[in-house]
């Protein structure tokens, strides 16, 4: 097996995690469809549908096209048949795994904060949700977390190379 095959397996595991997240997020959709909002806050049904369908569509794409995604991330010079894997290749796959793990939580946190942000600006509700300084700081932290996860996935080879450079 080549590194793209191993990474494709990780991508499918990530797709499974996204489906599990979608199942959790579907409770919001059910609440919006049955009561017209979330805990007496008016939320458009379209927003609830998007928060469920976006992760589901991404999960389906990742499930059906893991080799395409894997081949686009792992460079061709790294994609050699593995007898024993070299340390940089193993480390690159591990950094990618950590990046995908962090990306999963960053995406779920982003959907959570977008939902709360949309609810806080609802002008048609009698009582709007107040987002204090702590919530805004958590939103900024989520953006940084999302950027770091994308950086880890996009630059896993560079990060693993820096980790192996121990002679400084």
Show pLDDT as tens, one digit a residue, over the chain (168 residues). Answer: 777 888 888 898 889 888 888 888 788 788 888 877 777 677 777 878 888 898 899 999 999 998 898 888 887 777 677 677 777 888 898 889 899 889 988 998 898 888 888 777 666 555 556 777 788 888 888 999 999 999 999 998 898 888 888 755
Q: State the Cα–Cα distance between residues 116 and 39, nearest whole angstrom.
A: 12
* pLDDT for 72: 86
What pTM does this model have?
A: 0.53
Tally of structural domains, the chain: 1
Spatial CB neighbours of 92, under 8 Å, sequence gap ≥ 6: 3, 74, 78, 156, 157, 160
Task: Give yes or no for a contact between 131 and 118, defined as CB atoms under 8 angstroms apart.
Answer: no
Sign of CA dihedral 102, 104, 105, 110: positive
Owning domain of residue 27: 3-164
Closest to 103 (Cα-Cα) out of 68, 73, 135:
73
Helix or strand holding residue 3 (H, E): helix 3-35
- Residues forming a β-bridge with 110: none
Dist. CA 40–CA 54, nearest whole Å: 24
């Amino acid at each position: 097996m080549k590194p793209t095959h191993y990474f494709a397996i990780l991508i499918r595991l990530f797709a499974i995690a996204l489906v599990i997240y979608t199942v959790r997020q579907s409770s919001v959709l059910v609440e919006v469809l049955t009561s017209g909002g979330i805990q007496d806050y008016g939320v458009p049904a379209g927003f609830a549908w998007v928060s469920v369908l976006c992760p589901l569509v991404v999960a389906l794409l990742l499930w059906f096209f893991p080799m395409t995604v894997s081949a686009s991330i792992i460079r061709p010079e790294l994609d050699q048949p593995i007898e024993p894997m070299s340390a940089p290749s193993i480390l690159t796959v591990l950094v990618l795994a950590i990046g995908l793990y962090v990306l999963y939580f960053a995406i779920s946190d982003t959907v959570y904060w977008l939902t709360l942000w949309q609810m806080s600006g609802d002008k048609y509700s009698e009582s709007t949700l107040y987002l204090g300084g702590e919530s805004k700081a958590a939103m900024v932290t989520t953006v940084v977390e999302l950027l770091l996860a994308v950086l880890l996935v996009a630059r896993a080879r560079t990060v693993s190379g820096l980790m192996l450079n121990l002679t400084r």
